[in-house]
Amino acid sequence: MQRAQLRRETRPPIAPSISISRRGRYWAAGRGRVAVGTAPFQWTDSDVREIEANYVDERSSLWMYQSLANADRNPTRAALLRQLASYEERHAALWAGLLTKLGRPLPREKRELDHRLIVAMARLLGVGVVLSLVHRNEVDGVEKYRDQARRWQDPDAIQLFKSILPDEIAHEIETANEAKQVGAKGSSLRSLLLGAIDGFASTVALTTGVAGATRADGTVLIAGTAAVVAGALSMAASEYVSVKAEHEARVAQTRMDSEAIEYAPDTKRDELVRDYVAKGLSPEEANRVVARLEQDPQQFLNALTADRYGTSPEENERPGRQGLLTGVSFALAGTVPVVPYLLFGIPAAIAVSVLATAVALFLAGLFRALSSLHPFLQSGLEMLAIGMGAAAGTFLVGLVLGGNFA
């Protein structure tokens, strides 16, 4: 909501009974003089639509957590998921209460697409596989509520966020810890996507470039196969080294944090409180979150590490496994642009190779969106544009080189 400008108030707020002062100033006349006052906060239609979306999202999250709990064979984790569902139900009730005070009816409930996909994947592959996606969902929810808390300076909204934000931050940490314990971390998914997308884009770019230069399908097959093998080995090695270095740095920092908690717990507590305040929580909210984390020393240590690295420490992460995933996914993806040259002649093979790779890139973008909860169409089109742009550029270079050296 934009900062109020110097203006005379004319439009009544949606709900005057719950309006408070918005940061900003206006001029008001009284008893022969002009007085400076503070403009009252007003809910806009856009704000109300966001509140309605919050209510729908919390009700959909309630269904998602209940469905995950019912599908989970791990009783301890299922109990945690049911507890998270109860929190979502309470949050939905808070948003419903605010809508009632604003004189707005409750919107129709619906199950949101990302929640449907998470539940479908859990039923097909197991709950542990989707916990990293659930964690990403909670991270996005925290960021959304922080932004709204900064903009909505209404007394009821302020009290509502004091209740919701600590819960949401605790949920983000709890889901991250559960994902770590089952080994369903985003790093594995990142390695798969990294290898696959690079395999699609680089191989189709090379094969189209060689085809444009030589017009010889045998040469394209040799070059494409060599590129797939070399790329897979190179990607596997680089991912192994990168993950190993990052993992060693995290382990060292976690060990130092653990020692600091043992000998100077108040210092580390104050550090975490300051970090949460810097991220937008009030001192009271930050202290409530940290107090809850202190009940479990391991969660407190995980929170310190997560605040520094963005995720919880990954003691079970294996660099060799990540490197293998990247290399294999590159090799499998790289075969897609090469196979058409086994089945068709050059003109048709180029078209089939590019079309098959374009479809694969778009699907990879959709899968990437599922892991990050970015807009599906935008993510798919972005991957398609990157891969096809590289292929088109290399093909043109191949045509130029082929014409010069033919």
- Rounded to two decimals, the pTM is 0.54
Question: Under a CB-based contact definition with an 8 Å cutoff, are residues 336 and 356 in contact?
Answer: yes
Of the pLDDT bands very low, low, confident and very high (cuts 50, 70, 90), residue 24 is very low
Q: Given a cut of 60, is residue 404 above it in pLDDT?
A: no
Nearest by Cα to 129 from 167, 90, 77, 171: 77
Q: Which range scores top for mean pLDDT: 1-10, 105-114, 208-217, 376-385?
A: 105-114
Locus of tokens 């409530």: 288
Which pLDDT band holds residue 405 (cuts at 50, 70, 90)?
Answer: low
Q: What is the helix (H) or strand (E) element at residue 365, kind and residue range? A: helix 346-372
Q: Which span out of 116-125, 208-217, 308-317 was modeled with the highest average pLDDT? A: 116-125
Do residues 200 and 387 touch, judged by C-beta distance below 8 A?
Answer: yes
CA angle 252, 258, 261 (to 5 degrees): 145
Tell me the H-state helices in 215-317.
217-263, 265-278, 283-294, 297-309
pLDDT at 103: 92
Instruction: Examine the pLDDT at 374 and tell me if it is beyond 90.
Output: no
One-letter amino acid of 178: E
As given in the structure block, the two tokens for residue 165 are 């934000």
What pLDDT is stored for residue 91 in this prediction? 93
- Is the confidence at residue 48, as pLDDT, over 80? yes
Collect all residues with Cβ–Cβ distance below 8 Å to 142 and sequence separation of at least 6.
165, 168, 169, 172
Q: Give the integer Cα–Cα distance in Å for 24 and 26.
A: 7
Asked whether 347 and 339 are in contact (CB, 8 A), the reply is no
* E strands present in 155-223: none
Inter-residue long-range contacts of 245-249, CB under 8 Å, 24+ positions, other chains counted? 247/314, 247/317, 247/319
Domains and CATH numbers, the chain: 1-42 (no CATH), 45-146+155-182 (1.20.1260.10), 187-244+317-406 (no CATH)
The pLDDT tens digits for 287-329 are 888 888 877 777 777 777 766 655 544 444 678 888 888 999 9
pLDDT at 35 (0 to 100): 40
Residues whose CB is less than 8 angstroms from the CB of residue 137 and which lie 6 or more positions away in sequence, other chains included: 61, 114, 115, 118, 373
CB 228 within 8 A of CB 334: yes
Q: How far apart are CA 138 and CA 148, in angstroms?
A: 15
The number of beta carbons lying within 10 Å of the beta carbon of residue 15 is: 17
Q: What is the pLDDT of residue 169?
A: 83
Q: Please answer whether residues 94 and 160 qualify as being in contact, where contact means their C-beta atoms are separated by less than 8 angstroms.
A: yes
Helix (H) or strand (E) segment spanning residue 99: helix 75-101
Q: What average pLDDT does the structure give for the chain?
A: 78
Query: What mean pLDDT comes out for the span 144-152?
Result: 91
Q: Over 90: is that where the pLDDT of 54 sits? A: yes
Report pLDDT for 3.
38
Average pLDDT on 225-242 reads: 90
Q: Is the pLDDT of residue 68 over 90?
A: yes
Calpha distance 365→384 (Å, rounded): 8
